[in-house]
Amino acid sequence: MKPPATSWRERCARLADCRPGEGRALFWSFSGFFLLLAGYYVLRPVREEMGVLIGPENLQWAFTLALAGMFATVPLYGWAAARLSRRHLLLAVFGCTALLLAAFQAWIAGGASLPAALALFVWISVFNLIVVSLFWTAMADSFGHAQARRLFGMIAAGGSTGALVGPTITALSVHAVGVHGLLLIAAALMMLSLLCILRVVGPTVRGDAGRPLGGSVFAGLSEVAGSPYLAMIALLVVLQSVVGTFVYFEQARLVKAAALAAESRTQLFAMLDLGVNVLALLLQAVVAGRLMQRLGVGITLAAVPLLLTVPLAALAAIPVLATVLCIQVISRAGGHGLMRPAREALFTAVEREPRYKAKNVIDTLLSRAGDAFAGWLHAIAGLATTGVALAAIPAVLILAWLGLQLGRSYLRQVAAQPGAGNPATLPSDAPETPAATR
């Protein structure tokens, strides 16, 4: 007798390694991140246009102002997280984002002045890290350790799918609605994302997960400073930002040296983004969850930095644009496709206050600090491409070592929590019921 055909739901569940009772939460999480990054990638070309208006020679100051914006925003976020429930915090952050997008739309509707361009460039650079960090915090609050290792790759794939759709929306609609009209499209996508996220976190959550956190406004900074585990995560993020910024500057230098036409440069960057997002989507959907399950979070974090040593050595020997573009694809796609899901899984092993406050400091303030530090360091050092590549090799080896150390620390953190099992058995933990379905 012929076996019954496998349904499309069963095939999807097998691809995502989704177990009974998890499908609803995974669907809304995937959809929420899809809409969130679609909204951001609608805005990203707007930010680049504002960068053109500011002038390439002034962009290091724009990144410095973005860091200053983080210093102003992080205490405000800490104040809100201490006083608002998880649901109300999400409503406040996403609601303020949509309102500010509407305000910027009114400001630049008649054409963007230099102050408006600078303000919008800085604000987009600040807000995108905050909302993405809050999204992943809510996910870490809603899924258990074993679920995070299995499902966070697929959830991240929702974001990469949105990263493919967002630029398409911009390309098809910008001539109809104008640059300023894109801000309202992004605001609508952000609010739809919020509705999906609220379906995951829900009003009914385990324990005290939905209550205000309390504590100090600056607790995030003190949590990072006082925890070796969080400090290692912070160092990983900063070092990853430094390496990424150095490669970005070399890309800009070699593209300029290639003397391509403006249209050719635009086409090159579009193809680079497309390649990165497609590869990241494949890594997130097919590789990340299985790699974390079978080899662990530490190996998943270390894989991309170790892989980068080969093209960096090639760049030191042959400093050409093609090699830099190869490094960009591996670094960005691997960072989004493997390192980001693994990094988010690390936060399932910490308490709620550092999960909301310290994580936000790491993902926003310290990430932008790494960008600004690398930008000025690159300008002051004045290294040629070969020198940059040689300096980046020990940096990625340190990144790999940090990843392995964090993998070990993660197992110890999980084992120390009440009701945890033997760390050696963690990669094959039995499925948990998602918090959203409890």
Signed CA dihedral, 411, 415, 421, 423: sign only: positive
Per-residue tokens: 353: 């206050």
Q: Which residue from 55, 178, 44 is spatially nearest to 120, judged by alpha carbons?
A: 44
Residue 336 lies in a domain: yes
Residue 8 lies in a domain: no
Q: Which domain holds residue 324?
A: 22-201+217-418
Specify the pTM: 0.68
Q: What is the pLDDT of residue 28?
A: 93
**How far apart are alpha carbons 185 and 38 in whole angstroms?**
10
pLDDT of residue 18: 66
Q: Is the separation of the CB atoms in 134 and 93 below 8 Å?
A: yes
Residue 2 lies in a domain: no
**For the segment 110-132, what is each residue's pLDDT rounded down to a tens digit?**
777 888 888 888 888 888 878 88
> In sequence order, what are the residues at sequence separation of 6 or more whose Cβ sits closer than 8 angstroms to the Cβ of residue 1?
none
Q: Are 75 and 217 in contact (CB under 8 A)?
A: yes
Q: What is residue 284's predicted lDDT score, i.e. its pLDDT?
A: 79
Burial category of 208 from C-beta neighbours within 10 Å (exposed 0-12, middle 13-18, buried 19 and up): exposed
Structural domain includes residue 11: no
pLDDT per residue, tens digit, the chain (438 aa), is 444 545 555 555 555 566 677 778 889 999 999 999 999 888 877 776 777 677 656 766 777 888 888 888 877 877 887 788 888 889 999 999 999 999 999 998 877 788 888 888 888 888 887 888 889 888 877 887 778 778 877 888 888 889 888 878 877 787 788 878 889 999 999 999 999 999 988 654 444 555 555 445 456 677 887 888 899 999 999 999 889 888 877 887 787 777 666 546 655 665 777 788 888 888 877 888 888 888 888 999 999 999 999 999 999 998 888 898 899 889 988 988 889 888 888 888 887 777 767 777 787 778 878 888 887 787 788 788 888 889 899 999 999 999 999 999 988 888 877 655 433 333 333 333 334 333
CATH number, domain with residue 34 = 1.20.1250.20
**Domain membership flag for residue 257:** yes
- Which residue in the block uniquely carries the two structure tokens 């635009």? 266
* Helices 23-54 & 8-16 angle (0-180, nearest 10): 70
User: What is the predicted pLDDT for the residue at 380?
Assistant: 80
CB 412, CB 350: distance < 8 Å: no
Evaluate whether 331 touches 395 at the Cβ level (below 8 Å).
no
In a domain, 185, yes or no: yes
Query: Does 354 fall in a domain?
Result: yes
Using one digit for the tens of pLDDT, what is the confidence trace for 352-399? 777 767 777 787 778 878 888 887 787 788 788 888 889 899 999 999
Domain assignment present for residue 428? The answer is no
Q: In the structure encoding, which two tokens stand for residue 195, read together? A: 């509705």
Q: Is the dihedral of CA 11, 12, 18, 20 positive or negative?
A: negative
Number of domains present in the structure of the chain: 1
